[in-house]
Amino acid sequence: MARRTLRIAAATGALSFALFGVASPAQASGIDEPGGARQLDGDNTDAIRDAVEDSGAKNVILLIGDGMGDSEITAARNYAKGAHGRFDGLDALPMTGQYTTYAVDKDTGKPDYVTDSAASATGWSSGTKTYNGALGIDRKGNPHKTLIEMARAKGMKTGDVSTAEIQDATPAAQLTHISLRGCYGPEETSEDCSDEALENGGLGSISEQIINARADVTLGGGSASFEQKATAGDWKDQTLLEQAEDRGYQLVDDSDSLDSLTEANQDSPVLGLFTEGNFPVRWEGPKATHGGGTEPAVKCKNNPERTSSVPKLDQLTNKAVDLLDNDDGFFLQVEGASIDKEDHAANPCGQIGETVDLDEAVKAALDFAKEDGETLVITTADHAHTSQIVSAGSDTPGLTRTLTTADGTDMTMNYATADEEESQGHTGTQLRIAAYGPGAANVVGLTDQTDMHFTIADGLGLDPEAEVPGDPGDDANGDDDSAGTDDANGSATASGSSDTGGDDSSAGSQDSNASEDSNDSNDADAAGGGSGANGSGEGGEGNAGSGSGGEGPGLAGGGGGTLPRTGVEIGAAVFFGVAAIIGGSALIRMAKRRGILPA
C-alpha cells in the first residue's frame, strides 16, 4: 500500500474499467447480431494513454508460456471461455506487441529460424543469441550474465519458478552456463559435457550450477537429478540435495511445506522440488490421431495424478512474490512449461489446461502489480508450436482431435509436423508479448527476444559489469565465485567445450512428448532474441542509469566528486537533499521515473 502513487492508482482505476473490464461490453443479444462480437466498449484512446508509464520498475515478473503461440492461446480461450470470452490474465495486459524468435547457427552465426527453448531463453536472459541446445553462452562458448545474476549483483531478490524440471531449458537459462541442455546432473555431465564437469575444472552440471546460482526462491520439479552425487569439490560423494541443505537452503517438497515458509534470502534461500520430473498436467483427454477429428467431440477431464500436494502455478507465483517482495526490489521468472510438452505429444486437452494454468498465474502477478504500483509484468512465450485450429470435424492431413468448447460447439485441432507417436515440432513464427506497468510500452510493435532482456535490465537499472556475489558462507566447490560468471563474458568456463555431447543442438530431438523427457526439447529451438546479440555483458546497451555512467556529476552514480555547476544540476542536487531530509522514498522513486534523478 505504501508504495502506491496517486498517478498509478488513477491510471489503474481508468484501465480496470476501460480495458480489463471489457469482457462484458455493451452489445446486442448475441455475437451473430451487428456489433455483438465487439470487445471494445467505446473509445479506449484515453485509457491507453493513461496506461503508458515511464520506465523504471522496482520489480519485474516475467511469465513464460513454453510453446504458447497465438494458436495455443486461441484454442485455450475458445475451449475454456468461448470465442467471445477473455482470459483474466493473458487478455488483460494493455500493452501488446510481437517479437521474433530465432537462434543462430553455431558455426556460421546465421539465423536458425526455428528455435528451441534453450537458445530462446538464453536470448532474453542474457541478451545474446545462441545455438539450439546451449544455455547462457553465445555460439562461441562464452558465458554471458543473466538477468537473475545481474539482479543479485544489485542486491535484489530473485526467483525462478517452473512446472518443469527446474533443470529444464527455460528455468535453467537464468541460472546456468553450459553447452548442452541435457546435462542435468553430474552423471550426464561427466559423460556428455565432460569439459564442463566439476572434476575437469568446469562449472559443473546444471543442477550444481543452480545451487551455486543461489536465487532466493527456486521452485519446480526435477528432484531426481538432485539425488546424484557430486564427483568433485567440497561435497564430493554427497548428493546434490545434501549439498544444498549444507549450504543453507530451505528444502520443501509439497504444498504444505511451501505454505509454511515465511522468508527467503541469501542466508536461507528456498529450493522447492515437488516432483521427480515434470509436474502432472491439469487436464487430460485423447491425443490427436489420424482421422481423430471425425470422431465424436470430447470434453477434457481433470487429471487424477494432479493432487493438492503439488502446488498449482498460481500458488507458486503468489508464494514466490510473497517471499521476494522487499524494499530493494525483485526479479521473478515464472514458466508454465507443459503447454510445449503437451503440444509435442499432440494432446490438445493437456496443452489447453496448461495454458489456463498460465493465465491464472498471470492474473496473480497482475493483481500484485496493480496493488504495488511499481511492478512490470511481462507475458510471452519462447517459441511457437505445431497445433492449429482447422474446420470442425475435418479430416485434414496430420493428426486431429475434436473438442466441445465453452460455446457448446466443436473445435478441431490439427498437429502435422510429425507422424503419430513421434514428437511434434516447434515452428518459427513471431510471438505475442504483452505487458503492464512501468516500461510496458517497450513491448509494443515488433521487437526481438533479446530486446526483452534490455527492457528488463534497463528498467531495473542492472549493471552487466557488476560482480555477482557468491555464497554468504563457504565458497562453492572451492573455486571462484559461486556462479563462475563474474566476468560478464569471458569467464573461463562455460565451455570451450563447445557442445561435446552432441551436436549443435539437441536438435532434431524435439522433446518428445509431454513428457518426462528430461530434454524437453524440440530443440530445434533457435533461441532468442535478436538485436543486441552479444550485448549482454558488455555494458554497451543501455544500462539505464546503473550508476556507472558519467551523467550527473556529483549525484547518485555520477562521475563523482565535482560540485553541481549548471542550473539543472543545482536543482537536482537541491531536490535530492530535500528528499533525503524528509526520507521520501516514494518521492525519490518518482523523481527517477521522471528523469530528474538518475535511475
Cell numbers that stand for 485 in this block: 560468471
C-alpha 22/C-alpha 18 separation (Å) is 6
C-alpha 88/C-alpha 23 separation (Å) is 9
H or E segment at 159? Answer: strand 157-165
Cell numbers that stand for 357 in this block: 494454468
- Gyration radius from the chain CA atoms: 24
The reported pLDDT for the residue numbered 473 is 63
- The parts of the chain modelled with pLDDT lower than 70 are 1-29, 473-599
81 Cβ neighbours under 8 A, 6+ residues apart? 87, 406
Cell numbers that stand for 506 in this block: 539437441
C-alpha 406/C-alpha 359 separation (Å) is 16
Cell numbers that stand for 491 in this block: 569467464
Angle in degrees, 0-180, between the axes of helices 449-460 and 117-126, rounded to the nearest 10: 30
H or E segment at 302? Answer: strand 301-302
Catalytic annotation on 117?
yes
Q: What are phi and psi of 125, to 5 degrees?
A: -75, -35
377 - beta bridge partners? 61, 436
E-strand ranges in 418-477 read 431-436, 445-448
C-alpha 441/C-alpha 53 separation (Å) is 8
Cα Dmax for the chain: 79
Q: Residues of CATH 3.40.720.10 domain(s) within the chain?
A: 57-282+312-337+347-386+428-452+486-509
The reported pLDDT for the residue numbered 147 is 99
Domain 57-282+312-337+347-386+428-452+486-509, CATH: 3.40.720.10
Catalytic pick among 55, 71, 117, 125: 117
Q: Are 400 and 83 in contact (CB under 8 A)?
A: no
C-alpha 120/C-alpha 128 separation (Å) is 9
6 Cβ neighbours under 8 A, 6+ residues apart? none
Q: What pTM value is reported for the model? A: 0.78
